[in-house]
Structure 1
Amino acid sequence: MMETTDNLSPFMTFSRHEWSSLRQTHPMEVTQDEIDRLRGVNDVLNMQEVAEIYLPLTRLIHLHTKAAQELHRNRSHFLQTSEKKVPYIIGIAGSVAVGKSTIARVLKTLLSRWDGHPNVDLVTTDGFLHPNAELERRGIMDKKGFPESYNTRELLTFLEDLKAGKKRVEAPVYSHLTYDVVPDEKQLVYQPDIVIIEGINVLQPPKIEPGDDSDQVSVSDYFDFSIYVDAAEENIFHWYVERFKTLRQTAFRNPSSYFRKYADLPNEQAYETAKGIWERINRKNLHENILPTRHRADLILQKGNHHLVNEIRMRKL
């Protein structure tokens, strides 16, 4: 039986077992080969995790999407305006190395197989980072991933265009190989049913300057549903280091990789390098910017030390 964690809490809390029962009889529509392709570096994803966590979650989102579509039709009728196709937007936030990208890909795959919204797009906010040259010019290269490192105006314009029902919207593209925005390359989005926006700081509130009484808009204002992927800090650090080790043997060995310099480090030095990057950048960003946004989400996925979800908190209606 589900219980609230606190009488004053805005969330309902579900154990893994309680949550998995909400799938009901919806069939599994993903294969092991697909799961293998969806899984990120060092993430843990298996058929059981998809069945017990992500199928119930997509069932919930499916219900929300249908309700939002019906409300949109009724409101257009009330306002006597022409009805435009407007996507349902889902935001996914959380720390570096917590597994957001894998979850986003799983949701995209599963949601596209529910009736009524077959066209699902996934856009990451990495493309909306300022190019490295601009970060260097501003002296904030060591704050890449912090809120100030993003072209927030461009991201807000992208979301506004989506919600305005524009037939074609463009998003910039980021390369994790070169660690930079790809010049003149765009991801094209054509009036999807659902758009998933994945990024570490997508739940940031607007930055309000003293004396500024203008309307303040945040990225999350455009979200219809938001998810925060959470885990204990020591687990995230461990996953970050393990991913760094794996990438040293794979992507970092590409001559075009921004991180090629780390590929041949001795193991102990590689660990200290990863730890230093975590402490100097990722841990600081987590505590100053990402973690404070956790309770702004509609749903929190709490992962245990094996990268598997063990608790779900859902905001009350």
Structure 2
Amino acid sequence: MNKSTYDVTFSPFRSFNREEWKKLEEHPKFPISDIDFQGLRSLNEPLTIGEINDIYIPMISLLQIHFTHYRQLHNERDQFFKNSSHRLPYIIGIAGSVAVGKSTTARVLQKLLSMLPEKPKVELITTDGFLYPNAELERRNLFNKKGFPESYDAKRLLAFLAGVKSGREELEIPVYSHLSYDIIPNEVQRIERPDILIVEGINVLQVSLDKKPKRKVFVSDFFDFSIYVDASEKNIREWYLERFKKLQKTAFFNPDSYFHRYASYSENDLMAFANQIWEEINEPNLIQNILPTRFRADLILEKGECHFVRSIRIRKI
């Protein structure tokens, strides 16, 4: 076989550096000044007008193309089948490591998509709500593997997504508290037939959440578009440790915080504890479960230092 068949320049993705990407779409009339940046950014993660203009506005324009064609396809299928049906939500999945900035990306996309001329109803959920409660994790001897695939109620998550794509008018999901580090009993988030649903979570692109080889349906099967937020392991670890230090000075001081006991730790002791969590839980989960799903995404945001995106990969069609 010809050697060129294996040429590494052939890839299922198109790659753009930041300068190339930001030139793809000029959108001067987009109401950037109306955006509350403070409400969108996560702790220890910068979010600037430059990042919105250079990275997110072209991404929104691309997603708008996909969303518009999704709606057109629905209408054409109705014409073909000679009936009228409710349009199902367009689902966008967002994956990536702990501390990489998935939550900020998800909130920014939710805000910008809702500001499109069509004014779509955009809902956002995180898969944290589908973690087993701490008591159940303890019972299953999984508490120290929280965030690993087996720590999620995969059956419930898949049932929720199946309900969304079946046209259910209203669905409920559990609510997770980062303060108590647990599911909040008897509290739910209601989802009522959005136009677009964003599903954010570290494991959403995996082919199995519970390691059952017989499982035929996976979370990503319900996605219409998927995004992976990527960065070097070195940077992610630094961001995680920096966030841990900031949390000690903020959330940990709350007596209701699960981590309140660490509020009085010296910096050395705190960093030793944070590094232990990273090395025993987050790093193995990243290497074994999260990172291998990167190339299953339709779009990969590659971050450099300080959380700013330096390049983008788009799956070819």
* TM-score normalised by length of structure 1: 0.94
Query: In structure 1, what residue type is equivalent to 2:276?
Result: G
- Which of 39, 42, 45 matches 1:40? 42
Preserved contact between residue 22 and residue 55 of structure 2 (Cα < 8 Å): yes
Alignment correspondent of 2:4? none
For each residue in 1:72-129, what CA deviation from the matched residue of structure 2 results, as whole angstroms up to 9, or x when unmatched?
Answer: 2212332344311211000000000000001100000000011224210000000000
Alignment correspondent of 1:272? 272
Report the CA distance shift for 1:194/1:22 in structure 2 as closer, same or farther (over 3 A). same
> Alpha-carbon deviation of 1:208?
6.8
Alignment correspondent of 1:282? 282
Q: Which runs of 5+ in 2 are unaligned?
A: 1-6
Alignment correspondent of 2:241? 241
Task: Please show how residues 292-311 of structure 1 align to structure 2 within 5 Å.
Answer: 292-311=292-311
For each residue in 1:231-288, what CA deviation from the matched residue of structure 2 results, as whole angstroms up to 9, or x when unmatched?
Answer: 0000000000000000000001100000111111001111111100000000000001
Q: Secondary structure at the match of 1:41?
A: coil
Alignment correspondent of 2:63? 61
Preserved contact between residue 125 and residue 198 of structure 1 (Cα < 8 Å): yes
* TM-score normalised by length of structure 2: 0.94
Task: Please show how residues 1-317 of structure 1 align to structure 2 within 5 Å.
Answer: 6-31=8-33, 34-206=36-208, 209=212, 212=214, 216-317=216-317
For each residue in 1:30-71, what CA deviation from the matched residue of structure 2 results, as whole angstroms up to 9, or x when unmatched?
Answer: 338611221100011100000000011011001100101111
Preserved contact between residue 208 and residue 216 of structure 1 (Cα < 8 Å): no
CA RMSD across the alignment: 1.5
Q: Secondary structure at the match of 1:197?
A: strand
Query: In structure 1, what residue type is equivalent to 2:251?
Result: A
For each residue in 1:201-232, what CA deviation from the matched residue of structure 2 results, as whole angstroms up to 9, or x when unmatched?
Answer: 0000136756x4xx600000000000000000
Query: In structure 2, what residue type is equivalent to 1:277?
Result: I
Preserved contact between residue 130 and residue 154 of structure 2 (Cα < 8 Å): yes
Report the CA distance shift for 1:79/1:126 in structure 2 as closer, same or farther (over 3 A). same
Report the CA distance shift for 1:6/1:114 in structure 2 as closer, same or farther (over 3 A). farther
Report the CA distance shift for 1:196/1:95 in structure 2 as closer, same or farther (over 3 A). same
> Alpha-carbon deviation of 1:164?
1.1
Query: In structure 2, what residue type is equivalent to 1:205?
Result: V
Preserved contact between residue 119 and residue 192 of structure 1 (Cα < 8 Å): yes
Matched residues, number: 310
Preserved contact between residue 18 and residue 311 of structure 2 (Cα < 8 Å): yes
- Aligned counterparts of 2:145 and 2:15: Cα–Cα separation in 1: 34
Q: Secondary structure at the match of 2:202?
A: coil
Identity %: 52
- Aligned counterparts of 2:84 and 2:160: Cα–Cα separation in 1: 22
- Aligned counterparts of 1:256 and 1:186: Cα–Cα separation in 2: 20
Query: In structure 2, what residue type is equivalent to 1:134?
Result: E
- Aligned counterparts of 1:26 and 1:300: Cα–Cα separation in 2: 25
Preserved contact between residue 170 and residue 186 of structure 1 (Cα < 8 Å): yes
For each residue in 1:287-316, what CA deviation from the matched residue of structure 2 results, as whole angstroms up to 9, or x when unmatched?
Answer: 010000000000000000121000000000
Report the CA distance shift for 1:209/1:268 in structure 2 as closer, same or farther (over 3 A). closer
- Aligned counterparts of 2:256 and 2:32: Cα–Cα separation in 1: 34
Q: Secondary structure at the match of 2:306?
A: coil
Q: Which runs of 5+ in 1 are unaligned?
A: none
Preserved contact between residue 28 and residue 51 of structure 1 (Cα < 8 Å): no
Preserved contact between residue 29 and residue 110 of structure 1 (Cα < 8 Å): no
Preserved contact between residue 32 and residue 47 of structure 1 (Cα < 8 Å): no
Q: Secondary structure at the match of 2:36?
A: helix
